Amino acid sequence: MFDSLSDRLTDTFDKLRGKGKLTEDDINVAMREIRMALLEADVNFRVVKDFVARCKQRCLTADILSSLTPAQNVVKVVLDELTELLGSSESKLTLMQNRTPNVIMLVGLQGSGKTTAAAKLAYMLKKQGRSPELAACDTHRPAAADQLETLGGEIGVPVYRGDGKDAVAIAGQAVRDAIDHLRDVVIVDTAGRLQIDELMMQEAVDIKRAVKPDQVLMVVDAMTGQDIVNVVTEFAERTDFDGVIMSKLDGDARGGGALSVRAVTGKPIKFVSMGEKPDSLEVFHPDRMAKRILGMGDVVGIIETAQANADAAAAEDAERMLREGFTMDDMLAQMRQIRKMGGVGKILGMLPGGDKALRQMGGDNTEEQMRSIESIIYSMTKEERARPKTINGMRRARIARGSGHSVQEVNQLMKQWGEMNKMMGKIRGMMGPGSNRKQQKRQLQQMMKNMGMGGGMPGGKMPF
């Protein structure tokens, strides 16, 4: 995601950091490199021209903040302008409180990912406590309704198919069906085409007129690049959509489409799809995305992800660990928590410089490492997992054979467990009878942070 653009911009700023004072020539060189970086990222050339002109004007005329170096001032200007380009502030999905059901209509070209996006949006709304229903109004693409029904079944959301012939009638019937079954949101999946044509556009207009949606969202393939401009402009004129869902953003190293769409249409990006799983649809935060593009990470996003996946029993688990020690089952529980957050690769990518570090390491192989750890732990008996101290040399050899790993790898895992258990002993000593409840709570929270509860491996590293 934005890999090449992020690398080019980071390199440009690195060159500026070595200068004590920036001249106008330095600014011109930096702006030229930024222009080339954006064009190579397939950003619309008019957008690039306006963006660079604004950045240059601000760099040459803005007051220099005394708390920042000259190079940092340039970075701040580019960050501010990039945030503005992406949308300035978060644009939330607006649903009416006095209407049931709310109707959300998805439009876009064939292959843009509308059907998958519809299911992901339904999953997100369901997690927020709503009761969504999907309407299969793509009557032109073979098996489109079957695909939507399969996706709906996977996430436990009903799909209304109707007679499968008249898209406008199906949309209206789906709304009535939602009323009958007390569902509060209907997501209408419409047909797409290989290119913009009059039949598709008129059908979308007719559906919109029939169900009067509260929100019309256009699903756009991020890999479309600056060609996206022609597509969204046509849809904006005919269906007047309210926002964009950017699909397949995780598969686009350039990101030109995401940087062009709002500047050209004025329509905000509301969601981005960052993977194939139902929970991979994320609310789009322009400021956080701008920081990630500039290699500054998204620490707030990490915190929110951890909070969203927090286990209510985590504090109880921590107290049990203090009494009984850290077990191999606890290590398995941590790895499950990491997966809930999207995996180590996602977490690392949200750290400052994390995306670049991942690429330099040749990609994220931590999932494979975690599977190796799991295979070793699952080769232990129930008693061994609960009381790792009982695992002697003979048992380690048996576990290694059973898991298909070497004794050395088993030893490394045991060493990691030993370090964690030692830390437990220290904390147990700190939380003696003399400490009050407030102190204990604070110490428990610090212990959970050190252990990586809600994200991270014990000690912040992998056993091997």
Q: Is 56 annotated as a binding residue?
A: no
Q: Is 379 annotated as a binding residue?
A: no
Q: Is 110 annotated as a binding residue?
A: yes
Give the distance between the most distant pair of CA atoms in the chain: 77
Q: Are 191 and 138 within 8 A, CB to CB? A: yes
Q: Is 336 annotated as a binding residue?
A: no
CA nearest neighbour of 430 among 416, 444, 420: 444
Residue spans of beta strands (DSSP E) within 83-192: 102-107, 132-137, 159-160, 185-190
Q: Are 344 and 367 within 8 A, CB to CB? A: yes
Q: Is 192 annotated as a binding residue?
A: yes
> CA 283, CA 304: separation in Å to the nearest integer?
12
Q: Is 322 annotated as a binding residue?
A: no
Q: Is 248 annotated as a binding residue?
A: yes
Q: What amino acid occupies position 213?
A: P
Q: Is 115 annotated as a binding residue?
A: yes
Q: Which long-range contacts (CB under 8 A, 24 or more apart) does 376-381 make?
A: 376/400, 376/403, 376/405, 376/409, 376/410, 376/413, 377/328, 377/329, 377/331, 377/332, 377/413, 378/403, 379/403, 380/328
Q: To which residue do tokens 């590293």 refer? A: 461
Q: Is 422 annotated as a binding residue?
A: no
Q: Is 69 annotated as a binding residue?
A: no
> CA 254, CA 6: separation in Å to the nearest integer?
9
Q: Is 111 annotated as a binding residue?
A: yes
CA nearest neighbour of 392 among 458, 373, 400, 329: 400
The DSSP H or E segment spanning 247 is: strand 243-247
Q: Are 16 and 70 within 8 A, CB to CB? A: yes
Q: Is 369 annotated as a binding residue?
A: no
Q: Is 190 annotated as a binding residue?
A: yes
What percent of the chain is helix, strand and coil (3-state, nearest 5)?
Answer: 60, 10, 30
Q: Is 247 annotated as a binding residue?
A: yes
- Residue 355 main-chain phi, psi, to 5 deg: -60, -45
Q: Is 260 annotated as a binding residue?
A: no
Annotated binding-site positions for GTP: 108-115, 189-193, 247-250
Binding residues: 108-115, 189-193, 247-250
